[in-house]
Amino acid sequence: MTNTLIIEKLTPILREVFYDDDIVAVPQMTASQVNGWDSLGHVRLLVEIERAFDVRFDATEISTLKSVGDLADLIERKREAAPQGVGAS
């Protein structure tokens, strides 16, 4: 799955977690631009992403992410490391 596809798939997850149907995920998007994306929202988002993409994050990896682009890169790296994932389409 390419980075672009990952970002596309992040849009509905972001909308669901932060109850905002206007959210459109773009690489430059940061937490401060999304209402509700605080420390707890961040973990909730990452848990949803783990489910959707069949990946698993470390707590320290989660804390270093600065933008949706970083997030997509991390998901891509994780999926490359474990290509047998079944949760993604």
Partner 1 sequence: MPLNSIGFLFVFLPLCAVLFWHLPRPARVSWAPGFLLAASVCFYAVNSLASLLILLPSVILDYGIARLILRAHPARQGLRHSLLIAGVALNILFLGYFKFGAVVLATVNQTLGTSFNAAPAIVPLGISFLVLQKIAFLADVRSGQVKDLSFLEYLVFAFFFPRAIAGPIIHYQEIAPQIRRPVERDPREHLMVGICLICIGVFKKSFVADSLDKYVSPVFSTPSSSELFDLYPTLITSWISLLCYAMQLYFDFSGYSDMAIGTARLFGIRLPMNFNSPFKATSIVEYWSRWHITLTRFLTAYTYTPVVLFLTRRRMKKGAPVLQGKKSKASAILTIVAVPTFITMILSGLWHGVGWQFICWGLLHGFYLTVNQAWKMLRPRFWPDKASYERVMKPVGLVVTFFAVILALVFFRAPSVTSALSIYAGLVGANGVFPETVQLYHAAGVDTPWIVMNSKTLIGAVWWLVVLLPAVMLLPNSLALLSRYQPVLEGELWEGGLVASRLAAIVVAVLGVLGVMTLNQGTGFLYGQF
Residues of this chain, 44-83, that bind partner 1 according to CB under 8 A? 44, 46-47, 57-64, 66
Residue from 7, 17, 23, 68 touching partner 1 (CB under 8 A): that is 17
Q: What is the distance between the alpha carbons of residues 84 and 63, in angstroms, rounded to a whole number?
A: 26
CA 3 to chain centroid: 11
Shortest distance, position 39 Cβ to partner 1, whole Å: 5
Q: Which of 16, 54, 70, 76 binds partner 1 (CB under 8 A)?
A: 16
Which tokens belong to 20? Answer: 């905002």
CA-wise closest residue to 74 among 13, 3, 14: 3
**In terms of CB distance, is 5 or 47 closer to partner 1?**
47
